[in-house]
Amino acid sequence: MDIRLIWLAVGTFAIGAESFGIASLLPQIAESTGVSLTQAGYLVLVFALANAFGAPVLAALTGTVDRRRTLTVAALVFSASALGAALSHGYFDLMAARVLMAFSAGLYSATAQATGVAIVSPDHRARAISVIVGGTTMAVAFGAPLGAFVGGALGWRGAYFMVAGFGIVAALALWVMLPAGLRGAPLSLRQRVGAIALPGVPPALLTTWLTMTGAFVIIIYLASITTQSVGLPKSLVPAVLLTFGIGAAIGNFIGGQLADRLGPNRTILGTVTLMVVLQLAISEVTVLPTTVAGPVFFGVVFLWGVAGWGFFPPQSSHLLSLSPASAPLVLSLNASALYLGIAAGSLIGGLVLQFGTVNDLGWVGALFPAVALALFALRAQMRPRPAFSRFG
């Protein structure tokens, strides 16, 4: 394996540690800044929207710039923004810092994938992308619970100092390890967004959006579900996130293996079905006796991590099969769909808390992957081809 891919993945690890680790920090942030939990959730909404819409614009503007310079600057800006978040004086200062983090994170992720594809041989492109995206998976598995642990020990500001440190390490390593003069093709924003019109891509992106929307109705409020619904102490929140993360790491591996053996479409169908069942189970755990609810909740969260992150390898494989020549463009659009799902999930989760209870987050979240399954069934009935041939 090209060692440079590992350092590209360190940057995606730093981004993922912040993006997913904030779930455990929201109650602290809400209390510290004097806002409601729903308002704290808008920090996730704003970050996701800035990432989803900013990434393609910034990638188009910097497409012909030396990629080593682009990646290093993006990582440094991300780190500086994390420091700004750690030192912020209030809610709106923190929101402004997270917007800047989102822009730099989106630019970094898009450029890192394009760079990974450029520095390896054509027959290793999919592997290069999987390594870089694997940084995000490792962030879910270990970065988010580490952030929760640091947040519990040093407060949410301490967690942001940690994230800033990861970004600085990535910036220094990339400046040393990557070759200078590596530039991308001069693609306009229209060309980049135009990949959305490729055959099969729209339903695939819709599937990503629906599954991520449903997942993040729950994920960003997982700390509140753990303490308020299940009744576990705050000290166990890092353990819950670690359980979810270990499941995610295992799911990422299993998803890739199953996609190779069964095909990406069958694997996508299976993982999305499991997500519906397990997200419903998160709401049902709350009716169990307290002595039973905790262990069952840990089991459900683990399996949910397996199913949720088992979805990404076959989904990426499916997108690559639709347009191998446009792999970086299509995958960057999939990343935008993912962050739009995060945005929608945080907004809907906030509305659930405003008009319902924490116990309602599970079943509401399950509705969205259920819609993805219904759309799949509808498309299958309208096609004369086998049902699993082109599931998005």
Give which of 54, 104, 56 is closest to 82, Cα–Cα: 104
- How would DSSP label each residue in 83-132? HHHHT--SHHHHHHHHHHHHHHHHHHHHHHHHHHHHHS-GGGHHHHHHHH
State the pLDDT confidence band at 387, using cuts at 50, 70 and 90. very low
In one-letter notation, the amino acid at residue 243 is T
Per-residue tokens: 246: 């270990």
Please report the pLDDT score of residue 195 as a whole number: 67
Per-residue pLDDT, averaged over 336-363, amounts to 90
Tally the C-alpha atoms within 13 A of residue 309's C-alpha that lie toward its C-beta.
27
What is the CA angle 173-149-129, rounded to 5?
Answer: 40
Measured CA to CA, the distance from residue 122 to residue 32 in angstroms comes to 50
Answer yes or no: is pLDDT of 137 > 80. Answer: no
Handedness of CA 74, 79, 83, 89 (dihedral sign): positive
Give which of 212, 152, 158, 130 is closest to 18, Cα–Cα: 158
Per-residue tokens: 11: 């940057």
Q: Check residue 2 and report its DSSP letter.
A: -
Q: In this structure, are residues 249 and 309 in contact, taking their beta carbons and an 8 Å threshold?
A: yes
State the pLDDT confidence band at 298, using cuts at 50, 70 and 90. very high
pLDDT tens per residue across span 24-38 = 788 899 999 999 888
Of 2-6, 192-196, 247-251, the poorest mean pLDDT is in 192-196
Rg of the chain in Å (alpha carbons): 20
Per-residue pLDDT, averaged over 143-157, amounts to 84
Strand segments (E) across the chain: none
Per-residue pLDDT, averaged over 61-73, amounts to 86
Give which of 221, 336, 211, 349 is closest to 275, Cα–Cα: 211
Answer yes or no: is pLDDT of 254 > 70. Answer: yes
Per-residue pLDDT, averaged over 258-285, amounts to 90
Measured CA to CA, the distance from residue 285 to residue 229 in angstroms comes to 8
What's the N-to-C CA distance of the chain in angstroms?
A: 30
- Return the percentage of the chain with pLDDT > 90, whole number: 30
Please report the pLDDT score of residue 274 as a whole number: 95
Q: Between residues 63 and 82, which one has the greater pLDDT?
A: 82
Mean pLDDT taken over the chain: 84
Per-residue tokens: 242: 């670690």
Per-residue tokens: 29: 């942030």
State the pLDDT confidence band at 327, using cuts at 50, 70 and 90. low
Per-residue tokens: 362: 């599970």
Measured CA to CA, the distance from residue 113 to residue 118 in angstroms comes to 9
Q: In this structure, are residues 298 and 240 in contact, taking their beta carbons and an 8 Å threshold?
A: yes
Please state the pTM of the whole predicted model.
0.80
Answer yes or no: is pLDDT of 120 > 60. Answer: yes
Q: In this structure, are residues 282 and 367 in contact, taking their beta carbons and an 8 Å threshold?
A: no
State the pLDDT confidence band at 80, using cuts at 50, 70 and 90. very high
Per-residue pLDDT, averaged over 56-62, amounts to 80
In one-letter notation, the amino acid at residue 273 is T
Per-residue pLDDT, averaged over 68-83, amounts to 93
Q: In this structure, are residues 103 and 305 in contact, taking their beta carbons and an 8 Å threshold?
A: no
Q: Between residues 391 and 6, which one has the greater pLDDT?
A: 6
Per-residue tokens: 340: 């739009």
Per-residue pLDDT, averaged over 364-391, amounts to 73
